[in-house]
Structure 1
Amino acid sequence: MSVLPGDAGPIEDAALTLAAQAGDVSALARLLERHRPGMRAVALSLLGPGPDVDDVLQEAALMALRRIVDVRDPQAVGPWLRMVVRNNCRTVLRVSHRVEPVESLPLPSDGATPEQVLETHALRDWIWEAVEALSPTVRLPLVLRYFSTGITSYQQIAEACAIPVRTVRSRLNQAREALTQALAATAATAHDDTVRRTENSWREAHETLAAAERGEFGKVLKDRYSPGVTLLAGGERLGGAELLLAGMESDLAAGVRQRPLHVVAGRSLVVWEMELINPPGDPDHCPPGVAWIISLNGGRFDRVSLHHAARPPAAP
């Protein structure tokens, strides 16, 4: 009977897994290297040769970083890693509308988003500290890919960042490599409380919308936004604070309301994903949702890029 390379040495697997769960980056790197042949074999069997294989392995490495603390049997980390790869392959096959050649065993899902997973264990603050260390060029695609809920596909990220899909793939590769280095560099530094920052951002999103409905959005702009704030859509500059105010007032006058659905909050980048609720008399006034992708400068909102969700296809 053949044995996959990743099945050897369960005792060493257990030791490396426990060290990785305690925050040892080098242990996680060794663990991934030990099981890389088996993980690659799974990806090749499902996807065949091609660039998707490398993408899936990189995604699996990042997933392992986020969820290594969830492994209950350290000696069985090899099968767990291969399940991560299978799950990622299923996503690739589903998005590309390809037929999956063999059955795969999906990872058990508890319905949690990547950000909610981060909030359940002690690595969350360390990971966000490393994300903040990335350059803005690669940070935004990484945050959208792994921490948003509605802008996760390559095409959606390309539209939100106003770059080609091939550039999204390249920047995500750069981001994943840079994140590994940043994690090692920030392991011993102080980390902000990500949960508290996210809670504050949720509250701010609700308070911003409530102030707008009271006719006080202008005050919010003055108190919270940079004087030279820029409003963008699709990478094109539309205007500044005046247009932000006019757009909000116009939507409210038309009966459109926004409801926060998901918040991603870093020190330098915030994403508010909103549901757009149209008036009953004009259900097609706005798309179903909009994401506020906000860059901060000196703690103030400096750039607001709006990405609208795609409208559902028209009924025949």
Structure 2
Amino acid sequence: MNRNSGEAARVEDAVLTRAAQAGEVTALGLLLERHRAGMRAVALSVLGPGPDVDDVVQDAAVTALRRVGDVRDPAAVGAWLRMIVRNASRSLVRDSVVFQPIDDLHLPSTDAGPERWLEHHTMRNWIWEAVEELSPALRLPLVLRHFSTGVTSYEQIADTCGIPVGTVRSRLSQGRAKLATALAATADAPHGDTAQRIRASRIEARETLAAAESGHFGALLTERWSPEITLLRGNDPVGDRSLLVRGMDGDLEAGVRQRLVHAVAGRSLVVWEMALLNPADNPDHCPPSVAWVMTLDDAGRPHRLRLQHPRPVRAIQSLTPM
């Protein structure tokens, strides 16, 4: 590539990046196609040949969608995309892939002006509106992979959803493709306030834990959760409201406490990620954390609950506080 063609490419990158930052999905798609070969080459250089290469490149595309507003030099977007791939590939090698939660993305500094801050939140609300357009089967793996902090590996997602790891890969691939279509379809639709929904969910989580510690967990479930609430292990029902209450009360009696670490909140799906604090005289009573993965009914009440620990739980009776 000569100097003139290189400069022309940078100018075109800058135009497409600014359009993508303004919310044009087509522009982002063109950017990704222009740089896909370079992104793939970076993944190959770190990971070597294998299916993880395509997974990392696809993950980078979703990350680019969420973070394109952070690009400071639109003409250098190619280097930015390759950096995302390199970081994700290295994390995968370390077996500790972590995708930044959507509600904790780095906000532009206040001196960037209120317009930039507003654009950031508008983009976030738009993404969530598109996520809600996905089918439940595609939505859950995508949300866990990209928006949770602890249930991000294929194995953890497979265990939570009750599907094989290969199916997780397939559904993530389908979900990412359909997300682009959903983004285009919802571009002009009204978008809910994601930040407000997450704040409300965090309050709800803390109120739930407080009710449990005061002995009113069952009453709270009756008041706020679906009367048909079902605990699932994968896709299999394993208990109802009474099991949830027994499990919570049993762990509290053993001295275990939960503290909210992170919340993901959509209209149909909520994830509460909790740290588990074991008593000093029984530090191994529970794993160090648990994610409550809740599907909501039409009234916005938890209807189906899955619990995911960072490592297998010894027995169903040791379910940590629900």
TM-score normalised by the chain length of structure 1: 0.88
Measure, in 2, the Cα distance between the counterparts of 1:288 and 1:308.
8
- The answer for the alignment partner of 2:301 in structure 1 is 300
1:208·1:217 contact (CA, 8 Å) conserved in 2? yes
Structure 1: where are the runs of 5+ without partners?
97-108
- The answer for the alignment partner of 2:31 in structure 1 is 31
- The answer for the alignment partner of 2:151 in structure 1 is 151
How far apart are 1:194 and its partner, in Å? 0.4
Specify the code of the residue in structure 2 equivalent to 1:162.
G
1:2-151 → structure 2 map (5 Å cutoff):
9-95=9-95, 113-117=101-105, 121-122=120-121, 123-151=123-151
1:238-292 Cα deviation digits (max 9, x unpaired): 2111111111111112211111111111110000111111122222211111111
1:258·1:277 contact (CA, 8 Å) conserved in 2? yes
Measure, in 2, the Cα distance between the counterparts of 1:154 and 1:202.
26
Quick check: 1:207 aligned with 2:207?
yes
- The answer for the alignment partner of 2:255 in structure 1 is 255
Q: The residue matched to 2:311 in structure 1 has which SS? A: coil
Measure, in 2, the Cα distance between the counterparts of 1:56 and 1:283.
36
- The answer for the alignment partner of 1:291 in structure 2 is 291
How far apart are 1:236 and its partner, in Å? 2.9
1:185-224 → structure 2 map (5 Å cutoff):
185-224=185-224
1:212-261 Cα deviation digits (max 9, x unpaired): 11111122111111111101234432211111111111111221111111
Q: The residue matched to 2:228 in structure 1 has which SS? A: strand
- The answer for the alignment partner of 2:280 in structure 1 is 280
Measure, in 1, the Cα distance between the counterparts of 2:306 and 2:107.
26
Quick check: 1:239 aligned with 2:239?
yes
How far apart are 1:118 and its partner, in Å? 7.9
Of stretches 20-29 and 279-288 in structure 1, the one that deviates more from structure 2 is 279-288
2:103·2:195 contact (CA, 8 Å) conserved in 1? no
Q: 1:142 to 1:181 in 2, by over 3 A?
A: same
Q: The residue matched to 1:270 in structure 2 has which SS? A: strand
- The answer for the alignment partner of 2:228 in structure 1 is 228
Measure, in 1, the Cα distance between the counterparts of 2:273 and 2:253.
21
Measure, in 1, the Cα distance between the counterparts of 2:139 and 2:284.
34
Measure, in 2, the Cα distance between the counterparts of 1:310 and 1:116.
25
Measure, in 2, the Cα distance between the counterparts of 1:36 and 1:8.
18
TM-score normalised by the chain length of structure 2: 0.86
Structure 2: where are the runs of 5+ without partners?
109-119, 314-322
Aligned residues: 298
Measure, in 2, the Cα distance between the counterparts of 1:56 and 1:278.
36
Q: The residue matched to 2:72 in structure 1 has which SS? A: coil
Specify the code of the residue in structure 1 equivalent to 2:301.
R
1:119·1:195 contact (CA, 8 Å) conserved in 2? no
2:46·2:89 contact (CA, 8 Å) conserved in 1? yes
4+ residue runs over 6 A deviation: none
Measure, in 2, the Cα distance between the counterparts of 1:58 and 1:131.
16
Aligned residues: percent identity? 61
- The answer for the alignment partner of 2:164 in structure 1 is 164
1:110-132 Cα deviation digits (max 9, x unpaired): x9544311877231100001111
